[in-house]
Structure formats: structure tokens, C-alpha cells
Amino acid sequence: MSKIILITGAAKGIGRGIVEELVKDENNIIVINYNTSKIQAEQMMQKYKTRVDIYKADVSKRNEVKEMINYIINKFGKIDVLINNAGISCEKLFQDTTDEEWNKVINTNLYSVFCLCQEVFPSMLNRKNGCIINISSVYGTNGGSFAVAYSASKAGVDGITKALAKELGPSGIRVNSIAPGYINTDMNNNLTSEDMEEVKKMLQIKKIGEAIDIAKCVKWLIDDEYTTGQIIRIDGGWNI
């Protein structure tokens, strides 16, 4: 029986890498959520045909999240796996961060997780089975200079992960978080080659991670039946 997987922010970066790994399993049907990356989402649908579906929604808005979940349930009858991957950053000095910037980061990175988990929960509860994977960040535990809003949002995601794992575990729903370190995606395009070399010096493995490194962990968490409430760092040994 097909496993229905919803991945938010899945047209680029880590989300795209997760799609490309999970679509290898012919039992998976993946719904790619996107907001502004329409071209990339359509390209993936053309590539994978009936193996994927795409849906435009701003996950920071409850009404759009609700409409997306209703669309998926009406079309496929269920959602087996929710991967909360959508996220944005804001690299600014703390004192220069505006209310608008703070709210945009918190709403996109944290409030969206709250909304999506609430809207998906009934489908999983009815079957006493489900898997929720939140893509967090090492900044959720370490914090990051010039990234207070982003760090706060990811710390909140980790808090949701641990609390929901306790609350939903008796209903057969597993909730985990993956906390990537530096990954080679568009989000880090602002780093110069010199910056990247400095980053590598902090890592025990001495190289920048790739989206596939996160995707492999996602696949394992979907297949595993006993892991819940964990914050799994995939960061090349940063900050051991």
C-alpha cells in the first residue's frame, strides 16, 4: 500500500534532496509543498510523473495549510508522513532585527510546524499510526550570531518535537527532529569560499554536508518504528 508523504518547502535545497531519496521507493507518493518556487516544483513533477504531486501554500498561514491538508486527504485518503522542512533565515544584528522580520521567521519556521501538526494529526490518529519529522538546525541548541530569530524558531521546533513525542506516542505517532549543521544549499550561498574553509575547520569530518545526508536520516526515521522524541544532529561532528 502506498505511503503518502507531505514535505513542506520541498522544491529546493534539503527538501528537494529528501524528495529525490524517498521517491526511489515505489511505495511512496510524495506531495511537494512550495510557495514561491513554482518552476522547480513543476520540474520535479514532470520528472517523477505520478510519483509526486505539488501544492502551492504559504505554510505560515493557517487557512492555506488547512486547504492543502484537505486537498491531500480528499485525493489520497490519508497522510502517513509529515516532514516540516520549510524555513527561512534572517541574518542581522539582534538590535537591527525588526518586528516584521522576527514575525516572518517565527511564523514560517515555527508557527507552520504548529499548524501542520494540528491539521495532519486527525488523519494519523484515526489509523493510530504516523510519522512526523521536523527539520530543525544546530542553531536550535547552539544559537547563532546574527541569527537570533532563526535560532529561536529552531529551538521552538525542538521543543515542539519533544513535547509532541510524549503527547502523541500513545496514539502510535512518532515525532523526531533532524538538526542539520552546514549543508550545501541555497540558504548558505551568502558564504564566500573563505567562509566555507573556516566552517570546515570547525567540523571533525572537514567537509560541508549535502542534502542527501539529511535525506538518508529522514528515510531511516520513516522506516524505524521505535525512535521518537529525538533531536538528531547531522553536522559533521561540529561542536563535539
Sheet with 3-7, side-by-side order of all strands: 52-56, 28-34, 3-7, 81-84, 130-135, 173-180, 231-234
Q: What is the pTM of this model?
A: 0.95
Q: Which of these, 156, 213, 143, 220, lies nearest to 180 by C-alpha position?
A: 213
Reduced to 3 states (helix: H, G, I; strand: E, B; else coil), residue 132 is: strand
- Active-site residue, 150 included: yes
Mean pLDDT of the chain: 94
Cell of 54: 505539488
Q: How many helices and strands, by DSSP H and E, does the chain display?
A: 9, 7
In the numeric block, the cell 518556487 is attached to 37
Residue 189 banded pLDDT, cuts 50, 70, 90 = low
pLDDT of amino acid 194: 78
pLDDT digits (tens, 9 = 90+) for 151-168: 999 999 999 999 999 999
pLDDT of amino acid 102: 97
Residues 116, 135: Cα–Cα separation, whole Å: 13
In the numeric block, the cell 527538501 is attached to 15
Residue 173 banded pLDDT, cuts 50, 70, 90 = very high
pLDDT of amino acid 207: 87
Residues 181, 168: Cα–Cα separation, whole Å: 28
pLDDT digits (tens, 9 = 90+) for 51-60: 999 999 999 9
- Please state the domain extents for the chain: 3-233
Rg (CA), the chain: 17
Q: Please state, in angstroms and as integers, the Cα–Cα distance from residue 185 to each residue in 17, 98, 141, 178, 209, following that order.
A: 10, 26, 21, 16, 9
One CATH from 3.40.50.720, 3.30.70.20, 1.20.1630.10, 2.60.120.10 for 3-233: 3.40.50.720
Residue 1 banded pLDDT, cuts 50, 70, 90 = confident
Pick the catalytic residue: 55, 139, 150, 182?
Answer: 150
pLDDT digits (tens, 9 = 90+) for 218-235: 999 999 999 999 999 999
